Structure 1
């Protein structure tokens, strides 16, 4: 199994403010594995983007492209990013094993 020694906080997007930006709810914390590396990925709209990290969370996690993802690395640098792509990794029977979130 993959060790989940890091944590990530997911803030669900809420109502839009007067400038059209979402307000975010209280964070929900999940154990995860974060691999920080720059990669070119294809977004859901077909455009290319550069990601800064791939986050692997055990199980099926409710996360959407408008949510805010927050974490700190080993040198206490804090990140707050939005997802570029979200994928569910399943076993052969179809059971969700991991939620993979790529952020930019």
Structure 2
């Protein structure tokens, strides 16, 4: 059971492999249950620079997300956001087991 209710879904397109021409094709697609909060926020990205995000995503336990993936979310009004993660953080409990993954897009 998740720490927060996961009533929405996101689609994660994994980074593909590079072909002989140097182009990277799309990889596998995963559909994950999530809690998505649409808010504009200034965060410190993984690169160390400040960035503006529009989605705060909570995923159950240790999610298979990397900075090369593309996350797609469509809200109830039909607005689709498709971006790469700016920050990924795994939150752990007292026993060091992952409780949730927090992603800013």
* TM-score, reference length from structure 2: 0.89
Q: CA deviation at 1:66?
A: 1.0
Q: Are 2:75 and 1:73 equivalent residues in the alignment?
A: yes
Q: Distance in 1 between matches of 2:75 and 2:45?
A: 25
- 1:9-88 equivalence runs, <5 A: 9-16=11-18, 22-88=24-90
State the Cα RMSD in Å: 1.5
Q: Distance in 2 between matches of 1:3 and 1:23?
A: 34
Q: CA deviation at 1:21?
A: 6.1
Unaligned 5+ segments in structure 1 are none
Q: Deviations over 1:30-58 (max 9, x none)?
A: 11100011111111121111001110000
The list of structure 1 runs, each at least 4 consecutive aligned residues, that deviate by more than 2 angstroms after superposition, is: 15-18, 20-23
Q: CA deviation at 1:77?
A: 1.3
Unaligned 5+ segments in structure 2 are none
What is the count of residue pairs matched by the alignment? 102
Distance 1:46 1:21, change over 3 A: farther
